[in-house]
Amino acid sequence: MIVIALFIILSTIIITPFAWMGLIIFLFGIYQMIQRSKGRVTFSKPGWIIVAGFLLSCILSMIFVEPVKETVPKEKKEITLKQEQKRS
């Protein structure tokens, strides 16, 4: 399940670089979970840190997503320009 969440977070980083903050928090939560299993408890519930990192990454990617620019082929631009010139 962690691998799937990590894959989703990495795909949000492709959308916007602000999603790195969520990835860092997510990885910190995994680190805290490993430390907890070794007996060195810094945070009592590292699972919440993991969830917060995942949600933050998704939310930031939705907030800062840029619209897709429509690219028109060069031939189509020339055709539309010729049509506009004929109308004028």
The domain of 65 spans 2-87
Whole-angstrom distance, CA of residue 79 vs CA of residue 56:
46
State pLDDT tens for residues 54-71. 999 989 888 888 776 766
Average pLDDT over the chain, rounded to whole? Answer: 83
pTM over 0.95: no
Q: What are phi and psi of 73, to 5 degrees?
A: -60, 150
Q: How many domains does the chain have?
A: 1
- What pLDDT was estimated at residue 55? 92
- What pLDDT was estimated at residue 35? 92
pLDDT higher than threshold 70 for residue 27 = yes
32: confidence class by pLDDT, cuts 50, 70, 90: very high
pLDDT higher than threshold 90 for residue 49 = yes
Whole-angstrom distance, CA of residue 55 vs CA of residue 48:
10
Answer yes or no: are the C-beta atoms of 22 and 56 closer than 8 Å: yes
Task: Determine the distance from the C-alpha atom of residue 72 to the mean position of all C-alpha atoms in its chain, rounded to a whole number.
Answer: 27
- What pLDDT was estimated at residue 5? 85
